[in-house]
Amino acid sequence: MKADILIVDDEADIRDIVSGILEDEGHETRTAYDSDSALAAISDRVPRLVFLDIWMQGSKLDGLGLLDEIQAMHPGLPVVMISGHGNIETAVSAIRRGAFDYIEKPFKVDRLVLVAERALETSSMRREISELKKRSSDSKELLGNSAAMMGLRQSIDRVAPTNSRVLIKGPTGAGKELVARAIHAASSRAKSAFISINAAAITPSRMEIELFGTEPDGTERKVGALEQAHGGILYLDEIADMPLETQSKILRVLVEQEFERVGGVRRVKVDVRIISSTAFDLEQLIEEGKFRRDLFNRLAVVPIDVPPLTARREDITVLVQAFMKQISAQTGIRAKIIDDDAMAVLQAHSWPGNIRQLRNTIERIMILTRDESDEIPVTVGKLPAELSENLPKAPTESDTHIMSLPLREARERFERDYLLAQISRFGGNISRTAEFIGMERSALHRKLKSLGV
């Protein structure tokens, strides 16, 4: 795991030895010789780990004072104390105050490397856990075995190991963020941060603070998303909503790989892979002058399309079952069986809110039927009313249209509607439709032809 490590020590040869060893391990190091230069280095860019000497000559703050300062500003940042022979007790009290561990001078290479790896691993695990807690209601696994999903998985596998910027296109709730997370998980940056920032949910004036952070001016300093994502991935959700001014600033970051914080003058260098997403036609927004073409060209190095749920209806059964299990685990409501007709209704629905809407619907169904025994299957009548609105209706006596037809024509009309609904339910897959309705594939083709479909 390559990381940005800061070494703070007043002795130049200790700084050199520690940074030499850590660089041999593939890390990036920076050094500081007292508390002021250390705080300046941290404010240039927040490192992933700090090695901090306990006694520093000529420093405004000693090691413990600086440890307190660092912890107040960056609570999750691990600090390993460097202690001399005489001050093990101080090192131990530093651990009580929140330091991760200490190494003793003269130190052994193995011990130094081990402590660094452990500190980095622990902090990345902590980050993962807090990330998991935040999203514990959602699974991160991309489910579905439709051709569309297989294609999507292939694109993810192909693009993940590269460092290319990816633009994920697709309608709302189709799983764009999940795709971005899958790319992160399969990339060499998997152990580093995945920071997500939603342009649609943030006001334009707040957007720059969220992205670039603020420079301290007596008040609390905010670490921006770009800095938090250093070494990892920044996910820009719904870039179409980004104000033009922010677009220019993002473009500059992409060109120069560095930026300035809001209210600051210093340049902050970062190494961040950007994945962005949109539900809109950016080409059209470019035509209308609402999106910068040069930014689009830089963000969309590899475009990935996430198809709407209606283009992969055959995944619905798997999704419904998985969501039942997940919701049941979270809420304690027992999972239900959905009968074939009710499942067919779910498969035929238009799902404008895509997978998110499907998940919410399953949650609603489970809540509505929570008092029933889990042996009673969910029938069409138990589904939320809006789901059955678009179904082809069975002819009734008041349906004079079909009732006015002779049997042969009425049957043809019914067959046509029935077959079209089944084909749509199986995402246009004729073989699977044929299998389900119990017809030979070739016979179904002939039938469709004879019905003029």
Ligand X SMILES: Nc1ncnc2c1ncn2[C@@H]1O[C@H](COP(=O)(O)OP(=O)(O)OP(=O)(O)O)[C@@H](O)[C@H]1O
Closer residue to ligand X (CB): 79 or 174: 174
Distance CA 138, CA 134 (A): 9
What are residue 274's DSSP bridge partners?
234
**CB of 143 vs ligand X, minimal distance in Å:** 4
How many beta carbons lie within 10 A of that of residue 265, not counting itself?
7
Interacting span for ligand X (CB under 6 A) from 51-59, 114-122, 135-143, 407-415: 135-143
**CB of 356 vs ligand X, minimal distance in Å:** 4
**CB of 189 vs ligand X, minimal distance in Å:** 19
Q: Which of residues 20-39 bind ligand X (CB under 6 A)?
A: none
**Single residue of 47, 63, 78, 175 touching ligand X by CB under 6 A:** 175
Pairing status of strand 302-305 against strand 166-169: parallel
Interacting span for ligand X (CB under 6 A) from 159-167, 188-196, 260-268, 351-359: 351-359
Interacting span for ligand X (CB under 6 A) from 108-116, 176-184, 222-230, 259-267: 176-184
On the 0-12 / 13-18 / 19+ scale of CB atoms within 10 A, 99 is buried
Alpha helices per DSSP H over 58-104: 63-73, 88-96
Contact call for residue 307 and ligand X (CB under 6 A): no
Contact call for residue 9 and ligand X (CB under 6 A): no
Q: Which of residues 141-170 bind ligand X (CB under 6 A)?
A: 142-144, 170
| Residue 213 DSSP one-character state | B
Closer residue to ligand X (CB): 42 or 159: 159
- Tally of residues, the chain: 453
Contact call for residue 63 and ligand X (CB under 6 A): no
Tokens matching residue 347: 């498969």
Closer residue to ligand X (CB): 281 or 440: 281
Q: Three-state SS for 30? A: strand
Question: Which x/- pattern, by CB under 6 A, does the window 94-133 give for ligand X?
Answer: ----------------------------------------
Contact call for residue 362 and ligand X (CB under 6 A): no
Closer residue to ligand X (CB): 31 or 278: 278
Q: Which residues, including other chains, have CB under 8 Å from residue 17's CB and lie 6 or more apart?
A: none
Q: Which of residues 242-281 bind ligand X (CB under 6 A)?
A: 279
Contact call for residue 356 and ligand X (CB under 6 A): yes
Interacting span for ligand X (CB under 6 A) from 50-58, 125-133, 140-148, 337-345: 140-148
Residue from 253, 249, 252 nearest 229 by CA: 253
Closer residue to ligand X (CB): 32 or 362: 362
**CB of 237 vs ligand X, minimal distance in Å:** 5
Return the exposure string of 361-383: e unless at least 16 CB atoms fall within 10 Å of the residue's CB, then b. Answer: bbbebbeebeeeeeeebbebebb
Closer residue to ligand X (CB): 30 or 181: 181
Contact call for residue 308 and ligand X (CB under 6 A): no
Provide the strand spans (E) within 184-307: 194-198, 233-237, 258-260, 267-269, 273-278, 302-305
Distance CA 122, CA 327 (A): 30
Return the exposure string of 183-206: e unless at least 16 CB atoms fall within 10 Å of the residue's CB, then b. Answer: bbebbebbbbbbbbbebeebeeee
Angle at 315 between CA 375 and CA 147, to 5 degrees: 155
Closer residue to ligand X (CB): 172 or 317: 172
Contact call for residue 240 and ligand X (CB under 6 A): no
Largest interatomic CA distance in the chain: 103
**Single residue of 355, 362, 365, 387 touching ligand X by CB under 6 A:** 355
Contact call for residue 282 and ligand X (CB under 6 A): no
Contact call for residue 177 and ligand X (CB under 6 A): yes
Contact call for residue 178 and ligand X (CB under 6 A): yes
**Single residue of 47, 63, 78, 173 touching ligand X by CB under 6 A:** 173
**Single residue of 69, 131, 138, 435 touching ligand X by CB under 6 A:** 138
The sheet that has 79-83: what strands, in order across it? 28-32, 4-8, 49-53, 79-83, 101-104
| Residue 43 DSSP one-character state | H
The sheet that has 194-198: what strands, in order across it? 194-198, 233-237, 273-278, 166-169, 302-305
Size of the site for ligand X (CB under 6 A): 17
Contact call for residue 237 and ligand X (CB under 6 A): yes
Interacting span for ligand X (CB under 6 A) from 63-71, 172-180, 415-423, 444-452: 172-180
Contact call for residue 172 and ligand X (CB under 6 A): yes
Residues near ligand X (CB under 6 A) are: 138, 142-144, 170, 172-178, 237, 279, 355-356, 359
